[in-house]
Structure 1
Amino acid sequence: MKVLYVTNMFPVPDYIYFGIHVREQIQAIEALGGFEKSVYFINGRAGKLNYLKSIAGIRKRVKEEKFDLIHVHYGLAGLFLLFFKPAIPVVMTLHSGELYRKKGFWNHLMQKNITLALLRRVRKIVVLNDDMVRLLQPHAPKLVKQPCGTDLGLFRERSLPPDPHRKLRIGFPGNPARPEKNFALFEEIVAMLRPQFDVRVIEFHNQSREEVVRNLNSIDLLLMTSLVEGSPQIIKEALACNRPVVSTNVGDVADVLEGVRNCYLVESFDAKTFIGPVSQILSLPLHERRSDGRDKLYKMGLAADQVARAVKQVYEECL
């Protein structure tokens, strides 16, 4: 099977984890065997005109090469579908920013309206959580709920050298400059903890995969304060390393954390409501500051190879 992947999310030198989960999913599918891939990357960060240029570029690629299927990652990357309809099936994965407001109002309105127009032109729509399913009920026959997976070979629990001067470490999952990550709430929580705990903050922003694995294994817990998410990879990566997590109820986090030891969901954006669960974890002896999240990922079918097989099945249903 030959697949053309069209995406505006892919690692670039100045943003090395941008769309890393898209690249890793493509690699996991390719590893199943029987696949030939080609990637068309629309670098929207380098210039919005690249979206318009992609219309002719993708048409040319489809005309010159014999693809069996096109898989679009992110709504705007499918802009070409408004201008020509390929003779082969198109699958589109939505990554939440197309439906939820993460930037300005007009940006959100434009993205959402374009995406909704595109959905009528695709064979299958892959979404990340139940709320996205609810929002897209008019397209119910096309919908497949399938969060992105995590490489459990790479993300795993590691032993670190003992550090007698070690501070308690809390991880912040993302770029503090992004408004939807709600760093102000995170800072407020940490400030309330500091009279009782000697805390160091670890920011998970633009790190290599090895740095992410090492830093995840160094933290006592991951604290997510986001206002909106789809299916946050960093939560799954933390669980793969058996780290404790405290999070707001965003995306599919409630499903992922349900029943996982030393993981808590907070149904509020009030800093005081986070102090109890965070303090409970930080007060544990070091060897008990662990979760059993890795087992939960296997049970949910969220290992990278499990997700790759599920996406392959979506492809086969389209052909």
Structure 2
Amino acid sequence: MTTTMRVLSLTTTDWRSFYQSQMTALERVDVEVTTLPVPSEHRALEDDVRRRTPLDYARYLPHVLREARGDYDLVHANYGLTAPFAVAASALPRAELPVVCTLWGGEYRDNPFAPLIERFAARADRIVVPSNAMADRVDRSCRVVPFPVDTEQFHPISRAEAREHVGWTTDERIVLFPYAPSREEKNYPLANRVVDGLEGDVSLRTVANQPYEDVPYYLNAADAVLITSRFESGPMTIKEAAACNTPVVSRDVGFAREVLADVENSYVADDDAALRDRLADVLETAEPSDGRARITGYGTDEMGARLRAVYERCLENATSS
């Protein structure tokens, strides 16, 4: 019989779809998680970015230390900015909690706190990353545990039904940029240039901060999803769109090439012209992809088993040391 583990999870964004999927994955393998998010929020709006302040993180520390005195087996820092707090929790008298740290990918990109993150992440017992591309950027051994896609949530829906649900006109070709334009790393100007260069009537739509349950409808409502990010550790949208059989055209970032390698009617390209040509091909064929059949291995069950194995190894080492 599997023993239930109790994990204190620290995170900056507990509302993101991939974090919610992680919670589902852990629940299925008898891991009981208590999530403690950083106060306030960091969220990209359509034309601005709402940011946390240093005071929000200062307020976070006593919450973490107080909660860490509970009955937990280990503490899991989700995103590098929570690593210092996880390490502080592990050092409490009589706590001695092992620390697992998941690096999401944006920690070391134009981040003034990167040196602090690196110093505290180095003190974690185990490092987890979501992709091989991210593993190549981490200067220590780490375990690749891909973010899962919930194929029950993300599944094909008829385009007419999806467009009716989100309120989009049903007779135009729509390319979806699935982020707020204000997120500089997502490179909206490139997406706009690519779509502007297409022949015929094509609309570029953006979607950000929609309810999680509506995201599959937006993905299914689009003729194609366009990813123009400057850098990524993912992005999860590629897996989610693939699960919906929605074609994806993406720059060669994160795990885009790995996920889309064998997917029909989806492409990876890098320069403006190649992105435009590939997107034109997708729109001309007007066919779905076969991504859903190609994303085996990215489910919640697989992630749960892999993360639990990381936890168990941590606890074994803690017991033997």
TM-score, length-scaled by structure 1: 0.86
The one-letter code of the counterpart of 2:10 is: V
- One-letter code aligned to 2:122: R
Cross-structure match for 1:43: 39
Deviations 1:156-176 (A, max 9, x none): 011243899511111102111
Q: Equivalent residues in 2 for 1:230-249 (5 A)?
A: 230-249=233-252
Q: Does the Cα contact within 8 Å between 1:51 and 1:79 map onto a contact in 2?
A: no
Q: Equivalent residue for 2:184? A: 179
Structure 2-normalised TM-score?
A: 0.85
> 1:45-124 to 2 correspondence within 5 Å?
45=41, 46-63=52-69, 65-81=70-86, 83=88, 85-86=90-91, 87-101=96-110, 108-110=111-113, 112-124=114-126
In structure 2, distance between residues paired with 1:165 and 1:59: 53
**Partner of 2:301 in structure 1?**
305
Q: Deviations over 1:109-161 (max 9, x none)?
A: 32x11111012211111112233222223x22xx0112211100010011243
| Residues 261-284 of structure 1: per-residue CA shift (max 9 Å, x gap) | 01111133xx22222111111111
* Structure-2 separation of matches of 1:159 and 1:84: 48
Q: Which amino acid aligns with 2:24?
A: Q
Where 1:109 maps in the other structure, the secondary structure is coil
Q: Distance in 2 between matches of 1:89 and 1:82?
A: 9
Pairing 1:281–2:282 present: yes
Question: Which residue does 2:7 correspond to in 1?
Answer: 3
SS of the residue corresponding to residue 231 of structure 1 reads: coil
**1:220 and 2:229 are equivalent in the alignment:** no
Distance 1:293 1:88 in 2: 40
CA contact under 8 A between 2:75 and 2:86: conserved in structure 1?
no
Counterpart pick for 1:30 among 27, 32, 45: 27
Alignment-derived partner of residue 317 in structure 1:
313
C-alpha contact (below 8 Å) 2:14/2:35 kept by paired residues: no
Q: Which structure 2 residues correspond to residues 244-259 of structure 1 after superposition, within 5 A?
A: 244-259=247-262
SS of 1:22 mapped into structure 2: helix
- Alignment gaps of 5+ in structure 1: 12-18, 102-107
RMSD: 1.9
The residue type paired with residue 50 of structure 1 is D
User: Could you tell me which residue of structure 2 aligns to residue 16 of structure 1?
Assistant: none
Match of residue 45 from structure 2: none
Residue type of the alignment partner of 2:310 = V
Which amino acid is 1:178 matched to?
R
Residues 73-96 of structure 1: CA deviation (Å, up to 9, x unaligned):
011112225645341211111111
- Cα deviation per residue 1:43-85 (whole Å; 9 max; x = unaligned)? 253543121222222121112x110111110111122256453
Q: How does 1:120-139 map to 2 (within 5 A)?
A: 120-137=122-139, 139=140
Distance 1:274 1:35, change over 3 A: closer
| 2:155 paired residue number | 156
Retained in 1: the 8 A contact 2:90–2:98? no
Say if 2:269 and 2:275, in contact at 8 Å, map to a contact too: yes
